[in-house]
Amino acid sequence: MCGKVRTETIKKYANKIYETFSDKFNLDFENNKKVLKDYTIYNSKHFRNRIAGYITRILKTKMMQEKIDNQDTS
């Protein structure tokens, strides 16, 4: 499985933003970009997109983990 490497800066800001506005984000990348644009002051489109992508990945990973945990308890 190959993927893009995200810098520590992207991960740090994404985790901090997700903790603050976790109820605003969902699995839709486009929605997450819009939320970042509305609630943050980042002017760089590239930086904002990287953070939105990482937050989307965080949510997908959490969803998959919950699904696995539910299957284990069944």
pLDDT digits (tens, 9 = 90+) for 40-71: 988 899 999 999 999 999 999 999 999 988 88
Check residues 33 and 71 and name the one with the higher pLDDT: 33
Max CA separation in the chain (angstroms): 47
Residue with tokens 């190959």: 2
**Range 24-73 has CATH code 1.20.58:** no
Closest CA relative to residue 27, chosen from 63, 61, 59: 59
**Where in the chain are the domains?**
24-73
Q: What is the pLDDT of residue 74?
A: 66
Average pLDDT over residues 14-28: 95
